[in-house]
Amino acid sequence: MMIKERLRTALASRRRVPMESGPVPAAVLIPLFLKNGEYYVFFTKRTLHLTHHSGEISFPGGVREAGDLDSVFTALRETWEEVGILPSDVEVVGELDDCHSIHNYLVTPVVGFFPSDYQLTVSGAEIERIIEVPLSHFSKPGVFRVEDWQWQGAKRAMYFYVHGEDEIWGLTARILKQFLDVLRGEECLPEEESSKPADFNYSPND
């Protein structure tokens, strides 16, 4: 089964966990594309002069606006504004669980594919650069680690993924981990098992 259909089936068959309203609603896109015969995901490195999330590595996305129809609309609109991918060029295959960020955002991750060799138009006002990572990279030893952090009086697991000189952590890493767990079919495994590197390479026919 191709990765696109595998994800579509996995996301449709699982029970998505929403969160109660209250925080500011937002959405991000997990953008997947084919490059050199392998599937990639990309992240954005935010510019340093932004008021919020400056210098952070994240998925394209942002706050839901009054005219947005739903979370998918928000994720695709924000992606178009940030990197120039037309909403009509994204094939959405599902959504992951809502996440509550420390900045009081209720973030819905949307999973979507866009065509290969797409000409991105990056907003220099918001984005310093694009970081493209093959999905197979996340199976390599030493790429993933977990640290125990104290937050609001409780110990919480903080996830980290390394790619070259870049480190993905915080909310983005939490979303990425759930995405990878769903893709690997390991979501229901204990955390210490699901975080182990897997030997896989995502090609068009996987």
Asked, for residue 29, whether it belongs to a domain, the answer is yes
Looking at every residue in the chain, the average pLDDT score rounds to 85
pLDDT in tens, 85-114: 999 999 999 999 998 887 778 999 999 999
Domain hosting residue 28, numbered range: 3-15+23-194
Residue 46 clears pLDDT 80, i.e. is over it: yes
Asked, for residue 124, whether it belongs to a domain, the answer is yes
The total of structural domains in the chain comes to 1
Fill in the amino acid letter for 52: H
Rounded CA-CA distance 155/151 in Å is 6
Asked, for residue 167, whether it belongs to a domain, the answer is yes
Residue 21 makes CB contacts below 8 A (sequence gap 6+) with 106
pLDDT in tens, 128-147: 999 999 999 999 999 999 98
Which stretches of 22-106 are DSSP H helices?
71-83
**Cβ–Cβ under 8 Å, residues 106 and 19:** yes
Residue 54 clears pLDDT 70, i.e. is over it: no
pLDDT class of 48 with cuts at 50, 70, 90: low
Asked, for residue 205, whether it belongs to a domain, the answer is no
- The phi, psi pair for 23, rounded to 5°, reads -65, 165
What is the radius of gyration, based on Cα positions, of the chain?
Answer: 16
Asked, for residue 96, whether it belongs to a domain, the answer is yes
pLDDT class of 188 with cuts at 50, 70, 90: low
Fill in the amino acid letter for 180: L
The domain spanning residue 152 has which CATH number?
3.90.79.10
**Cβ–Cβ under 8 Å, residues 175 and 107:** yes
Residue 117 clears pLDDT 80, i.e. is over it: yes
pTM of structure = 0.86
Asked, for residue 200, whether it belongs to a domain, the answer is no
